[in-house]
Amino acid sequence: EDWRQNLGQFEEKFNLPFVVKRQLGNEENFSILLDKGVLVLGLHLVSGKIHNREEFRVRHERNVRWVEEELAKTNRGKYRALVFLGNAKPSPMLDDFFGEILDDVQSVGKPAIYLHSDEAGEGVQLYQPFRNSNLFQATAIRDGGSSPPVRVVVGEGSNPFLVN
């Protein structure tokens, strides 16, 4: 619920210099193509206790479809890196999502980073969540309500992410 409350229709609250696209039926999912060549994809990815397995499965299918549609619709020449935003840390519970999009990231051939919350973490931790993907990194950010703002700089090259 926090994801929807905090990020739902945020573009209506600010005068933004970019267009925010939303997934029909899952408006909490969004994409932004920044002028500097970064494609940002916000996804409703959660972990914890699953109250409804079917709803959880369907949400992941929709998340995968959203990523695949946005990667297919966005001209690869217009972006040099991908930034994914979500709440849940990559885990076996999310294998059905990450297993699918890792193949997509590899086929696009652009470096990617996944920024997510980490309730028990200390500060900001950059790590490699999947051994089979050298293009995909992740950053665990201590629970957003108790952390200072995090700055993500996307430079050039195969390892363009600086997080502090």
Q: Report which DSSP code applies to 134.
A: T
Residue 125: how many other CB atoms lie within 10 Å: 13
Helix (H) or strand (E) holding 67: helix 53-73
Residue 26, phi then psi, degrees to nearest 5: -135, 65
Q: Report which DSSP code applies to 94.
A: G
pTM for the model stands at 0.90
Residue 65, class by beta-carbon neighbours within 10 Å (0-12 exposed, 13-18 middle, 19+ buried)? middle
Helix (H) or strand (E) holding 11: none
User: Token pair of 117, please?
Assistant: 């919350």
For residue 108, the model assigns a pLDDT of 93
Size (the chain), residues: 164
Instruction: Identify the segments of the chain with pLDDT beneath 70.
Output: 1-8, 119-123, 143-146
pLDDT in tens, 46-61: 888 889 999 999 999 9
Amino acid at 50: I
Report the candidate in 108, 16, 9, 7 with the shortest Cα–Cα distance to residue 67.
Answer: 108
- Backbone torsion region of residue 28, taken as left when φ is above 0, otherwise alpha when ψ lies between -120 and 50, otherwise beta: alpha
For residue 133, the model assigns a pLDDT of 84
Alpha-carbon gap, residue 70 to 19, rounded angstroms: 14
